[in-house]
Amino acid sequence: MTVQVQCYSGRKADERPIRVGIGDHVFMVEDVVEQWYGPEDTFFRVRADDSNVYLLRLERATSAWSMEWPQNAR
C-alpha cells in the first residue's frame, strides 16, 4: 500500500504529519495523539478527519513513510 504524507516543517523537516494519502483516499490529520522515536524511525499515532486513528512510521534514513496499522477502522 502506498502512503504519501505531507508534513508541517517548523524548526525541523517533517516535524509532524498534516495530510495522509492512502491509495485513492486523502485524509487531513486532526490530531497527533502520540509521537515517539525508535533507533531508526519516528512514529506518529494520528487521528484523521475520517475519525480513524493511524500509526505512521517515518524511516529517517530514507525519508520513506509507511502505515503500520489503522486503529478504530470504520
pTM of the predicted model as reported, rounded to 2 decimal places: 0.86
Domain extents in the chain:
3-71
Say yes or no to pLDDT of 74 above 70. no
For residue 18, what are the contacts with CB-CB under 8 A and spacing of at least 6?
A: 6, 7, 8, 28, 29
Instruction: Tell me the Cα Rg of the chain.
Output: 11
Quickly state the pLDDT bin for 2 (edges 50, 70, 90): confident
DSSP at 10: S
User: Which tens digit of pLDDT belongs to each residue from 28-60?
Assistant: 999 999 999 999 999 999 999 988 899 999 999
pLDDT of 15 strictly over 80: yes
The pLDDT assigned to 19 comes to: 97
